[in-house]
Amino acid sequence: MLNWMRSALVPKRRTASTDTTLDAVAAAQAFFNAQIARMPTVWPLEPANDDPMVGVAEVVERDLRTAGYLH
């Protein structure tokens, strides 16, 4: 039952077809890396002082007033 696990641990022999496959993978990776490097930046940079909590206090206060906890 565990033969497939044991066979996965055995080092594989390199063959000409394996080398060709690895060369094709390396060529594809190089191609896509070059394409990605040429892509323009899609997302604009966020301001350094952008606070995600801006406005939270106002929303909480409004909800508390609506619920009757604040007058």
Please report, for the chain, the start and end positions of each structural domain, with discontinuous segments joined by +. 15-40
Our separate counts of H helices and E strands in the chain read 3, 0
Q: Between these two residues, 61 and 14, which has the higher pLDDT value?
A: 61
End-to-end CA distance of the chain: 71
Residue range 30-51: average pLDDT? 76
The yes-or-no verdict on residue 18 having pLDDT over 60 is: no
Residue range 38-49: average pLDDT? 68
Q: What is the pLDDT of residue 63?
A: 93
Q: What is the pTM of this model?
A: 0.31
Percent of the chain at pLDDT exceeding 90: 20
Q: What is the pLDDT of residue 24?
A: 86
**Secondary structure element (H or E) that encloses residue 19, with its range:** helix 16-38
